[in-house]
Amino acid sequence: MDTEKFRKIQKKLCKKLDDRRYQHTLGVMYTCAALAMAHGQDMQKAQLAGLLHDCAKCIPNQKKLKLCKKHKIPVTALEKKSPYLLHAKLGAYFARKKYGVEDKEILSAIRCHTTGKREMSALEQIVYIADYIEPMRNIALHLDEIRRLAFQDLDQCTYRILADTLEYLEQSPKEIDPATRQAYEYYKERNEHKHG
Ligand code: DGI
Ligand code: FE
Ligand code: FE
């Protein structure tokens, strides 16, 4: 994608997000680029996925549900109870329909960035990780260790984030999406296999 097209997307997106969310978005975008560099992945694709990952975040929850219905995006019973989760699916939809992104890998990285999923591609892991570690994030536990791991081993880093996220969710009234649990089981097994 050429620079001008990228700038156009940034300008348009900036109007759809509040300032805090836009600053987070830029943090994720640059962190995606850095992780792509570290792991030999396509930097442009990673940046674009990072830029658009939360493009549907600032839509009110009721409107998220309405928009899913309107655009025939399937909503699970769990998502109905926690509609904020839908910003990922809706984000992928808008990335294509409103921002003209056709790349399937980018769209799928946006779609799974909140819960994660089993067998993520390197690009999907990069977006998932960057969202968690970008510089403005500062409340999660073990961030120093997770930030260090991000540049060393994507699978181990993904696993650590999933483990901490599940622990956080289990202590909160929030329901756990099957994708989150499946991702955790998958990366747990994968890391045990790799590291004994
Ligand atoms: O959109 P962001 O705030 O940048 O980050 P995100 O899209 O990763 O969303 C983070 C929130 O999503 C965080 O509070 C944990 C929550 N989350 C992750 N997996 C699940 C989940 N919430 C529920 N209810 N169920 C999940 O499985
Ligand atoms: Fe998000
Ligand atoms: Fe985010």
* Token pair for 171: 């202590």
Distance CA 33, CA 17 (A): 21
All structural domains of the chain with their residue ranges = 3-140
How many angstroms separate the most distant Cα atoms in the chain?
48
**pLDDT digits over 62-120, tens only?**
999 999 999 999 999 999 999 999 999 999 999 999 999 999 999 999 999 999 999 99
Average pLDDT estimate for 122-128: 99
**pLDDT digits over 100-112, tens only?**
999 999 999 999 9
Pocket test for ligand 1, best of 81, 170, 174, 184 (most atoms within 8 A of CB): 174
Q: 114 CA distance to ligand 3 centroid (A)?
A: 8
Residue 2 confidence class, pLDDT cut points 50, 70, 90: confident
Q: 85 CA distance to ligand 1 centroid (A)?
A: 6
**pLDDT digits over 138-184, tens only?**
999 999 999 999 999 999 999 999 999 999 999 999 999 999 999 99
Q: 71 CA distance to ligand 3 centroid (A)?
A: 23
Judge if the beta carbon of residue 54 lies within 6 A of ligand 1. yes
CATH of 3-140, one of 3.40.50.300, 1.10.3720.10, 1.10.3210.10, 1.10.357.10: 1.10.3210.10
